[in-house]
């Protein structure tokens, strides 16, 4: 069997690797010059089953309204994006009801935990090196009431999906991560999530692409898709740069650009871009050195040690397909990392800024599986959990396409769950 995959980010590359492992002939098309050069390039670097919550938490509409005109809001809506969001925005808010929010959180948790198991098996199988560490993450909280709510939520996720955690006092936090001593007196306490990991997503993507090549996968870079031909309810070919690529099955794994490709085929999948930012600092001056990733609840940011450097990431910004880097956003992240690690001496001149478009589904859960077009499949909509879910998503897609036995319930991630229409998102 032959497959063509559009997209060589984390999701497309893992999909290619697993299909090739099952004997398929796979070609990957990507408009960039190499794998992982868009949203997978400089993300937050955390693999976090501890953060399975969709971004449309109950009451998120208030946060979005309050964000208009503010540069420091962690969840931000631009007025110019409203026409683009349309019915998707209404579905996003409908899914913020407590019942749907909790149900979708557990779906994400199940896939995230499974995905880290798949990733561990990949490391053993391939020997792939991507600067990974498996010491867990710290969540620090400054307000005592918020801390108790976090403990209660953790217990709920432990009961529903098996997420393990350890309660911490402020002293416990400083003992685990001495670099946080300057802010220890500000903390009410926190949580250690032992399952979380750190790793360079781009480095993983490049390494796995090479191992996929060794299994026969052909990567065609600088190959933007010009057209997807559909005949009699099936894809007949993908056209790129004057070349016609044909196969038995076709997979769109193009992140936030997947809806654009599919809309031309009459499929309006409920995925829209959510812009995120990061700053990377090489060789920071920190004594003692910073060794554990930190999620700061108050500042809505993650600060991550990454191969001798530090990366701070945050923000979900609805601004369409805008990839500009406003200085206000860069300054905001710079302020955040200084507040978490005030002894670091972080300066703007040292910061390497980046932004990417996370593919956000309307219910905050990825979409993996077949489409109404007979031989067309999709793997997208992972939002802020693309790195966390990549290995498991690639394996799940290959299970579904090759008749394997999925390790998670595929119906939870199927496009068919949107039973009331492509943007309704009322399905379970």
Q: Write the pLDDT tens digit of every residue in 330-379.
A: 999 999 999 999 999 899 999 999 999 999 999 999 999 999 999 999 99
Q: Three-state SS for 400?
A: helix
Cα three-residue angle 163-364-228, rounded to 5 degrees: 130
* Residue 90, pLDDT score: 86
CA–CA gap between residue 33 and residue 384 (Å, rounded): 24
Per the CB < 8 A criterion, the answer to whether 215 and 312 are in contact is no
Ranking 96-105, 116-125, 245-254, 417-426 by mean pLDDT, the lowest is: 417-426
Q: What pLDDT does 423 receive?
A: 41
**Distance between CA 28 and CA 226 in Å, rounded?**
15
Mean pLDDT of the chain: 92
pLDDT score for 286: 85
Is the model's pLDDT at 382 over the cut of 60? yes
Quick: pLDDT tens for 43-81: 989 999 999 999 888 887 666 666 555 566 655 565 566
**What pLDDT does residue 65 have?**
61
Q: Which residue blocks in 68-200 are alpha helix, DSSP H?
A: 82-94, 98-126, 144-161, 170-176
Q: Tokens 């995959």 appear where? A: 5
| pLDDT tens-digit readout, 186-200 | 999 999 999 999 999
Please write the tens of the pLDDT for every residue from 400-418.
999 999 999 999 999 999 9
Nearest to 173 by CA among 148, 186, 188, 190: 190
What's the chain's length in residues? 428
357: helix, coil or strand?
strand
pTM, 2 dp: 0.94
pLDDT in tens, 215-227: 999 999 999 999 9
The runs of H, that is alpha helices, within 341-385 are: none
Kindly report the CA angle at 267 between 383 and 323, in degrees rounded to 5? 40
CA distances in angstroms from 35 to 12, 14, 212, 254, 261, listed in the order given: 9, 11, 12, 12, 19
Q: Within a 13 Å sphere around the CA of 51, how many CA atoms are in the beta-carbon half?
A: 27
For residue 82, is pLDDT > 60? no
Q: Is the pLDDT of residue 427 over 70?
A: no
Give helix 144-161 / helix 98-126 axis angle, nearest 10°.
Answer: 70
Q: Which 3 state secondary structure label does DSSP give 424? A: coil
HEC-encoded secondary structure of 259-296: HHHHHCCCCCCCEEEEEEEEEEEECCCCCCCCCCCEEE
Q: With respect to CATH, is domain 2-136+195-417 assigned 2.60.120.10?
A: no
Q: Is pLDDT at 96 greater than 50 in this prediction?
A: yes
Q: Grade residue 300 by pLDDT with cuts at 50, 70 and 90.
A: confident
């Amino acid at each position: 069997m032959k497959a063509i995959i559009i997209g060589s980010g984390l999701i497309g590359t893992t999909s290619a690797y697993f299909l090739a492992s099952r004997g398929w002939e796979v070609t990957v098309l990507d408009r960039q010059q190499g794998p992982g050069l868009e949203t997978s390039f400089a993300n937050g670097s955390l693999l976090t089953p501890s953060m399975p919550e969709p971004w449309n938490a109950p009451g998120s509409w208030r946060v979005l309204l309050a964000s208009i005109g503010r540069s420091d809001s962690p969840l931000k809506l631009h007025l110019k994006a409203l026409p683009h969001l349309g019915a998707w925005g209404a579905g996003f808010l409908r899914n913020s009801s407590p019942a749907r929010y909790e149900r979708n959180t557990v779906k994400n948790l199940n896939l995230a935990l499974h995905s880290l198991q798949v990733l561990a098996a990949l490391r053993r199988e391939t020997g792939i090196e991507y600067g990974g560490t498996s010491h867990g993450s710290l969540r620090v909280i400054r307000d005592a009431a918020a801390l108790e709510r976090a403990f209660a939520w953790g217990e709920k996720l432990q009961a529903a999906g098996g997420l393990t955690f350890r309660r911490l006092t402020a002293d416990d936090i400083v003992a685990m991560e001495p670099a946080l001593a300057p802010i220890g007196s500000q903390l009410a306490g926190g949580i250690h999530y032992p399952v979380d990991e750190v790793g360079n997503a781009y480095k993983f993507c490049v390494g796995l692409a090479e191992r996929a090549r060794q299994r026969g996968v052909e990567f065609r870079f600088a190959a933007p898709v010009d057209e997807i031909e559909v005949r009699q309810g099936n894809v007949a070919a993908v056209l790129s740069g004057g070349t016609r690529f044909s196969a038995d099955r076709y997979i769109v794994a193009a992140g936030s650009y997947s809806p654009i490709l599919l809309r031309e085929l009459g499929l309006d999948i409920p995925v829209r871009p959510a812009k995120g930012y990061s700053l990377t600092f090489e060789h920071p001056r920190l004594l003692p050195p910073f060794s554990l990733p930190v999620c700061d609840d108050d500042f809505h940011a993650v600060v991550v040690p990454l191969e001798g450097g530090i990366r701070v990431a945050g923000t979900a910004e609805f601004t369409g397909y805008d990839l500009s880097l406003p200085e206000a956003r860069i300054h905001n992240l710079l302020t955040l990392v200084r507040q978490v690690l005030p002894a670091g001496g972080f300066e703007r001149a040292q910061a390497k800024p980046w932004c990417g478009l996370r593919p956000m589904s309307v219910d905050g859960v990825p979409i993996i599986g077949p489409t109404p077009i007979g031989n067309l499949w999709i793997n997208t909509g992972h939002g802020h959990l693309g790195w966390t879910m990549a290995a498991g998503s690639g394996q799940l897609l290959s299970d579904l396409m090759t008749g394997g036995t999925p390790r998670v319930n595929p119906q939870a991630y199927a496009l068919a769950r949107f039973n009331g229409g492509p943007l309704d998102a009322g399905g379970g």
